[in-house]
Every structure is written in structure tokens, then in C-alpha cells.
Copies of this chain bind each other. A is one copy, B any other.
Amino acid sequence: MKEKGLLIVLSGPSGVGKGTVRKAIFSQEETKFEYSISMTTRNPREGEIDGVDYFFKTREEFEELIRQGKLLEYAEFVGNYYGTPVDYVRQTLDNGNDVFLEIEVQGARQVREKFPEALFIFLAPPSLSELQNRLVTRGTEADDIIRGRMETARKEIEMMNLYDYIVENDKIENAVEKINSIVQAEHCRKDRIQQRYINMLEVE
């Protein structure tokens, strides 16, 4: 039996820099995992290539794929669908390769239901840590600004419940290094490696 790849899900609140971190990961030569290209109904922008940046589909095609259960996760933003085709993900994992998804928080929730064993990494905004400094040096900012930030922070902390790991995006290099470590560590998990040795002995 072939060992399956890991499904790695990077998510986090919008604006946290998920796309930038993902691009930095895939610009490393040593990155061994496969990036799952998203599908969308929005129009291609200047320079975007179908099958490289996105799979571009019509609304009718996309809705047909939803009906057929061909999307691992999807969401609608400002009138356009975005989603992850499930077949590519399953095939790549079955071939023993890791798949990397960079998706929105609501998409991550859908993936958790279908692939509970996937690796969920939450990219946290550095504003969360910065908030502490603001809290202790009160008086420099209006109370309602602070209150608004506290409310956002509470929601973001609540979002983390779904995830296995949290990486603060204080610097892109730090975030990339931590994500690399998390993936490498997951490959060293007892259950995974012990099973590999057991399979090996059964070769006889």
C-alpha cells in the first residue's frame, strides 16, 4: 500500500498575507509539495493563465461541479465563485505527494469536515501581538478604536479553534520557515513512520 501524501491547509483572516506566504513557499526550490490550483468564475486578469493561476470556468460550469460534488470547498465572494477541485487533490495525495491549499477560513471549515486528518495552519496577523502593546500603553488611542480591535482579535482567536498550528505572519521568512518545519515534523509523526516500518517487515 502506497503511503498517502499530506494535505496542508493554510488559511487565516483576509488581509493577513496568505497569498504572499504561499508564493514565498513555492519560490523555494526545495519545496516538495504540490499547489492545488483554485477554480473561479471571475474573469482572468491581465497576464493570468488558465490552469496556472486559476482554472477559469463559467458560472454554469461551476454550479454543475458543485452539484456533482467535485469541489472540496468553495465560497462566493463579490458575485464570483472560488473553489478547490477535489479530484486533483485526491489523486495527488494517493500518489504519495503532499498537497498545499491556500484558502479562506470558510473553505478551511469545509475541508476539515471532508479531510479531518489534514494539517491545518492558521496564519495569524501580527496585529494580534501588537494589540498587547497598545493595551498596556492605553490612553494614546481612543477607547472605541481599542474596543474595535479587541473585538476583531477575539473573533480571530476564536477562528483558531479549527486549526492544528498557528503561525504569526510577523515576517514572511519566519512564517515560511515555521510552515516548512511543521510539514517536516508531521512527516516524522509516530503513526506515519511506524506504519512504514511495519509495512516493510511484511514484505517478507
Q: Does A166 contact B (CB under 8 A)?
A: yes
> Please, what's the 1-or-0 string for A139-163, where 1 marks a CB less than 8 Å from any CB in chain B?
0000000000010011001001101
Main secondary structure of the interface of A (DSSP, over half): helix
Q: Does A131 contact B (CB under 8 A)?
A: yes
Interface residues of A in 113-140 (CB under 8 A from B): 121-122, 124, 128-129, 131-132, 135-136
Please, which residues of chain B bring their CB within 8 A of the CB of A201?
131, 135, 150, 153-154, 157
Q: Are A188 and B160 in contact, CB atoms less than 8 angstroms apart?
A: no
Please, which residues of chain B bring their CB within 8 A of the CB of A204?
135, 150
Q: Does A197 contact B (CB under 8 A)?
A: yes
Q: Does A194 contact B (CB under 8 A)?
A: yes
